[in-house]
Structure 1
Amino acid sequence: MIRLYSLFVLIDLALLVIALISCLSAEESEIRALPRIAWVFIILLFSPIGAIAWFVAGRPARPVRLSNGTTWRPGSGFPERERSAAPLAPDDDPEFLKSLGEDKGLLQRWEADLRRREEELRKQDPGQ
């Protein structure tokens, strides 16, 4: 039983040391969720949970290799050169504004047809 406990202590100590080295060697701007000093305290005070939390939630995210061969770093967003050139809002789109003029004629025809039908219904049913 003592051997098992000593094995757990050694694993915990190794995880603690590895997490501390990883935390202290990471760039401050790449550390996620909390500042570096908070991660150091969490790793030291809540062993081994703090070290596991560092590897899950605090360690800098690794670049992802996409299927087209490029790499994407999480958190880098979309650079301006990769964004589409489409207008952001419909009222900035000239094609949309042109279509509104075409729809206006259609709307007027529908209103005229509706008025004609209402007049026909009034003529058929004078009691109401």
Structure 2
Amino acid sequence: MLYFGGFFGLLTFGLWLFCLVDVITSDEGDIRHLPKVTWLLVVLFFPLVGSIAWLVAGRPARAHTRPRAFERNTPAYPEYDRPGRFAAADPASDAEFLRRCRERAEEQRRKARGEG
């Protein structure tokens, strides 16, 4: 019976520690129902009940998914995924792309000045 009590205490401590870290690392705007400081105090002073309440009622709905930057072979910025985005395969293609951009910009400047 003593082992069950120790196991339950260890399990409660682990849950409490997880929830405490989760409250601290969550964004203020994503937390539900109470301010972040209040959730922190509830979880801190009422380990079991506060932790369960945090998981049920306070934790953000999209709780800490892994950022896309950490997934294998996935760029860190979603604008790199958009269709039709130019990505130079070699320095010559990059130089050609920049040359066309400069020509297009110069053409737009001429039109704006009324020269063409």
TM-score, normalised to structure 1, is: 0.47
Q: CA RMSD in A?
A: 1.3
Gaps of 5+ in 1: 64-128
Aligned residue number for residue 10 of structure 2: 10
Show the counterpart of 1:23: 23
CA distance in 2, matches of 1:47, 1:2: 21
Percent of residue pairs identical: 38
What's the offset of the Cα at 1:45? Answer: 1.5
Deviation at residue 46 of structure 1 after TM alignment: 1.5
- Equivalent residues in 2 for 1:74-93 (5 A)? none
Corresponding pairs, count: 63
Question: What does residue 38 of structure 1 align with?
Answer: 38
Which is bigger in relative contact order (C-alpha 8 A, separation at least 6)?
Answer: 2
Identify the residue that residue 62 of structure 1 maps to in structure 2: 62
TM-score, normalising length: structure 2: 0.52
Which residue is equivalent to 1:53? Answer: 53
Instruction: Spell out, residue by residue over 1:82-107, the C-alpha distance to the aligned partner (whole angstroms, 9 max, x if none).
Output: xxxxxxxxxxxxxxxxxxxxxxxxxx
Question: Could you tell me how far apart the structure 2 residues matched to 1:44 and 1:7 are?
Answer: 20
Q: Report Cα offsets for 1:37-79 as digits up to 9, x if no partner.
A: 111111121120100100111011129xxxxxxxxxxxxxxxx
Q: Deviations over 1:95-120 (max 9, x none)?
A: xxxxxxxxxxxxxxxxxxxxxxxxxx
1:35 maps to amino acid: P
Equivalent-residue separation in structure 1 for 2:57 and 2:49 (angstroms): 12
Amino acid in structure 2 at the alignment position of 1:44: L
